[in-house]
Amino acid sequence: MTSEQIITVLPYEKPFLFVDEIINISEEGVTGQYTFQKEEFYYQGHFKDNPVTPGVILTEVMAQIGVVCLGVYLLGKESVLEEKLAIALTSHAIDFFLPVFPEEKVTVISEKQYFRFNKLKCHVKMLNAKGELVCRGEIAGMLTNKK
């Protein structure tokens, strides 16, 4: 599957699609990017006069790129393109180090820990445009085709 095909079959759409580009993907991991737009809904009222991206959104960006995109790639069957994908987050543990502000571009790097019985667990980290560590942790989820 190509990066464009993977993004097309993701079960998200704006304003809840947090994948702009998949830079690199393999059996072992994925690297992707997302740019936070200043008009995103979650900035309204999230710190008056100083909008900051909520941690739950940063976690979602890491999950979409680092687990769901990689999971679609690992499922790797043509049927993924024709059928709906069922996804469930099973666990996450994230440490946060730096804030992310509107109009910042982040890079997510995910390394597969294991993928068996349709459960994918990854070590995921997010870097800002300066290459500084924003957050990191482990995220796991279940992925399968709906029939």
Gap between the terminal Cα atoms of the chain: 20
Which residues are known catalytic residues?
46
Q: How many C-alpha atoms does 114 have within 13 Å on its Cβ side? A: 3
CA distance readout (Å), 46 to 14, 20, 39, 79, 126: 20, 23, 12, 40, 21
Cβ burial of 126 (10 Å; 0-12, 13-18, 19+) is: buried
Q: How many C-alpha atoms does 115 have within 13 Å on its Cβ side? A: 20
Tell how far CA 109 is from the center of its chain: 9
Tell how far CA 54 is from the center of its chain: 15
